Amino acid sequence: MPARHDLVTDPAVVADLAAVRFGTAYFRRALQHVTDGGLAGPSLLPGWSRGALVAHVGYNARALTRLVEWAATGVENPMYASPEARDAEIAYGASLRPVALRNLAEHAAIDLDVRWRDLPAERWSVTVRTAQGREVPVSETVWMRMREVWLHAVDLDSGARVHDVPAPVLERLLRDVVGTWSRRDSVEVAVVADDVEVGDPASAVRVVKASLADATAWATGRGTLPGEDPAPRWL
Ligand code: ZN
């Protein structure tokens, strides 16, 4: 008998589930503001139509669902068979009629949410592997999804703005981005945003000061800052 309530008990995950549901609703509204004809138009991601972006967000939910299944069953279940398979399904999704594409995105999001709901409390710490090869507890899928729905809602270019993203999500995004630059590229950037400090301004080669929303928009490649070069690549 499937549960009708979340089985997870870890308060941090419970809070993340509430936050991701809020973000999912925000993405849904942003998509509602795109007309069927508008799906063929460009998103804010260079080279991506809005339709391709919606397909990506839908298939991302399916891919994260596979990680949750992995945690539930203990049987390895990668996000994508290969990078080529991932690209092929996005192209396929983008070719669907608008109603089918919208259904794909909606059903995939609901299915992922049901899998989270039904994942037993003791399985949330099971280690799974992301498409980038990172080993993470399956609870990380909630944050991975949160990033997707908030940022890609903005990318739909239908009125959503980075400034609408809740401050705790902005701060976490900023920490993710600055951490990636440091780890992957050995580029030490510090950001001082409102009362949030990310990185170490004393040792960083570059210290950026802006509001939290402006700094996050810049750091994720979704905005510019006066007097600053574009941010280094993130993903
Ligand atoms: Zn994405």
Q: How far is the CA of 37 from the centre of ligand 1 (A)?
A: 22
Q: How far is the CA of 148 from the centre of ligand 1 (A)?
A: 5
Q: How far is the CA of 207 from the centre of ligand 1 (A)?
A: 27
Position 229 in a domain: no
For residues 87 and 202, membership in a common domain is answered with no
Q: Is the pLDDT of residue 1 over 60?
A: no
Give the Cα separation of 230 and 50 in Å (integer).
23
Position 208 in a domain: yes
Q: How far is the CA of 145 from the centre of ligand 1 (A)?
A: 9
Please state the rounded mean pLDDT for residues 176-200: 89
- Torsion angle of C-alpha atoms 97, 102, 105, 110, degrees rounded to 10: -140
User: In 3-state terms, what secondary structure has residue 235?
Assistant: coil
For residues 141 and 79, membership in a common domain is answered with yes
Task: Look at residues 142, 160, 178 and tell me which one is the last residue of a structural domain.
Answer: 160
Report for 8-12, 143-147, 184-188: range of highest mean pLDDT = 143-147
For residues 153 and 175, membership in a common domain is answered with no
For residues 117 and 96, membership in a common domain is answered with yes
- Tell me, what's the pLDDT at 194? 87
pLDDT in tens, 50-102: 999 999 999 999 999 999 999 999 999 999 999 999 999 999 999 999 999 99
For residues 49 and 25, membership in a common domain is answered with yes
Q: How far is the CA of 58 from the centre of ligand 1 (A)?
A: 10
Angle at 163 (CA atoms; ends 52, 214), nearest 5 degrees: 100
- Tell me, what's the pLDDT at 211? 95
pLDDT in tens, 131-158: 989 999 999 999 999 999 999 999 999 9
Percent of the chain having pLDDT more than 90?
86
Q: Is the pLDDT of residue 44 over 60?
A: yes
Tell me the CATH number at 33: 1.20.120.450
pLDDT in tens, 97-135: 999 999 999 999 999 999 999 999 999 999 999 998 999
Establish how many alpha carbons lie within 13 A of residue 94's alpha carbon, considering only the half-sphere containing its beta carbon.
21
Please state the rounded mean pLDDT for residues 3-24: 93
Q: Domain limits at 84? A: 11-160
Q: How far is the CA of 45 from the centre of ligand 1 (A)?
A: 10
For residues 23 and 56, membership in a common domain is answered with yes
- Tell me, what's the pLDDT at 79? 96
Nearest residue to 146 (alpha-carbon basis) of 15, 14, 19, 12: 19
Q: How far is the CA of 152 from the centre of ligand 1 (A)?
A: 7
For residues 111 and 49, membership in a common domain is answered with yes
Position 4 in a domain: no
- Tell me, what's the pLDDT at 195? 87
For residues 140 and 184, membership in a common domain is answered with no
For residues 143 and 174, membership in a common domain is answered with no
Q: Which of the four pLDDT bands, split at 50, 70 and 90, describes residue 3?
A: low
Q: How far is the CA of 57 from the centre of ligand 1 (A)?
A: 6
Q: Is the pLDDT of residue 203 over 90?
A: no
Position 225 in a domain: no
Q: How far is the CA of 74 from the centre of ligand 1 (A)?
A: 26
Q: Is the pLDDT of residue 2 over 70?
A: no
For residues 210 and 141, membership in a common domain is answered with no
Q: How far is the CA of 67 from the centre of ligand 1 (A)?
A: 16
Position 2 in a domain: no
- Tell me, what's the pLDDT at 235? 75
Q: How far is the CA of 203 from the centre of ligand 1 (A)?
A: 31
For residues 113 and 75, membership in a common domain is answered with yes
Quick one: tokens of 151?
């940022």
> What is the biggest distance separating any 2 CA atoms in the chain, rounded to whole angstroms?
58
Position 231 in a domain: no
Number of domains in the chain: 2
Give the Cα separation of 61 and 199 in Å (integer).
31
Task: Look at residues 111, 137, 160 and tell me which one is the last residue of a structural domain.
Answer: 160
